[in-house]
Amino acid sequence: LAEQESAVDTDSQIRQAFTNQLDRWDASDELAKIVAAEDGDERWLHVQMGQEPEFNPETLKSDATFLKTSFRLKVAQPMWEAKPWMSAWETSSSGTRSGSVTVHNPTDQPMFQTWILTPGTWTLPDPIWQGRPRNRTVKTMRTVPLNQVTSAHGGLRVSLDQMKRMFTNLAGTNVAGDVAAGYWFLNEVPPYTPKTTLPLSVVAPTGGARAELHQPRLWSRPWGLR
């Protein structure tokens, strides 16, 4: 306890840290975050109360030095999150251009990646993987050709997260009918996939084009498992 701070004060501060809903008057409000740190590596969970805390003391004094309160918390996303990783490629030239990005999943969970694309006509990798953990390789380099992403779209987000639409513009509008070209992304990145270079290409407009491969990091435990 801090100097001159009672257990009652501390209990009150902890209780105020958790809530079962966001403050609808505060647009910046976020759920409480529990952070686990090990050797400079941080992983976290966003949590909310599942029910009121269990607190049944036999006596309660304002100057108490010890209180035992049990919090039951729940999470919408039960895996521990770590800082995501991103690999990008860009060209400043127009016309047909080829490049590559790097994919890497060091975690013990499948990785559902997201592409962020500027306007252009893209062909992206969707590889089929094989091999033992930490020795995964590309079995088949499947590719997905897309219809043109136009300036009217503003850009394209392609998400393999099953809880999200696969093809949206940067405002979140479903644009699968415009850009999907009858093809879908099928393959997440397996756990313990080493750094692997993947090819891509684009027919870029004047000024060039850019692709970003955003790679979340989810773990089943708050530490270890590397």
What is the full per-residue pLDDT of the chain (226 aa) written as tens digits? 445 567 777 777 778 778 888 888 998 888 889 999 988 889 999 998 877 777 666 555 555 566 677 778 888 888 999 999 999 999 999 999 999 999 999 999 999 999 999 999 999 999 999 999 999 999 999 999 999 999 999 999 999 999 999 999 999 999 999 999 899 999 999 999 999 999 999 999 999 999 999 999 999 999 999 8
221-224: which pairs have CB atoms within 8 A and are 24 or more residues apart?
Answer: 221/80, 221/108, 222/36, 222/43, 222/45, 222/80, 223/36, 223/38, 223/41, 223/43, 224/38
